[in-house]
Amino acid sequence: MRFGDVYYDNPSQPIPDNLHYSYNIQDMDTAIALIVNGGGLSEQQINYQVCKKGIADTKEKIKKNNKDYLDKKIDHKTYEVMNSVFNDVIKNFEKCVFDNK
């Protein structure tokens, strides 16, 4: 039995982005459990990945905020407030990453 996100049968090809692990599963119950649990990731692993992605996304927002300020699209006060918020968000995500290692 083949499940697209669970059993990947061609290792010579690049692994698709939606495939977390490569499994060869003969047991239907195991395959279903892995699909339900996010492709075999534990809740802690999922939280870790979500928080790492959150950090990367927030850093992109900081870059955009900096560019907007330099291009005079936002005033200094708005820039400072947004930077403060973004830095707090990153601290929270970093704590989440640490807690889910």
**Side-chain half-sphere exposure of 32, counting CA atoms within 13 A:** 3
pTM over 0.75: no
φ, ψ dihedrals at 78, nearest 5°? -60, -45
Domains and CATH numbers, the chain: 1-40 (no CATH), 43-99 (1.10.287)
pLDDT, tens digit (0-9, with 9 covering 90-100), for 18-62: 544 545 555 666 666 666 665 667 788 878 888 999 999 999 999
Per the prediction, the chain carries an average pLDDT of: 77
**By CB neighbour count within 10 A (0-12 exposed, 13-18 middle, 19+ buried), where does 93 fall?**
buried
pLDDT at 41: 72
Return the structure tokens found at 40. Answer: 């075999």
pLDDT at 93: 94
Q: 94 Cβ partners below 8 Å, 6+ apart?
A: 51, 55
Is residue 16 scored above 60 in pLDDT?
no
Return the structure tokens found at 43. Answer: 């809740």
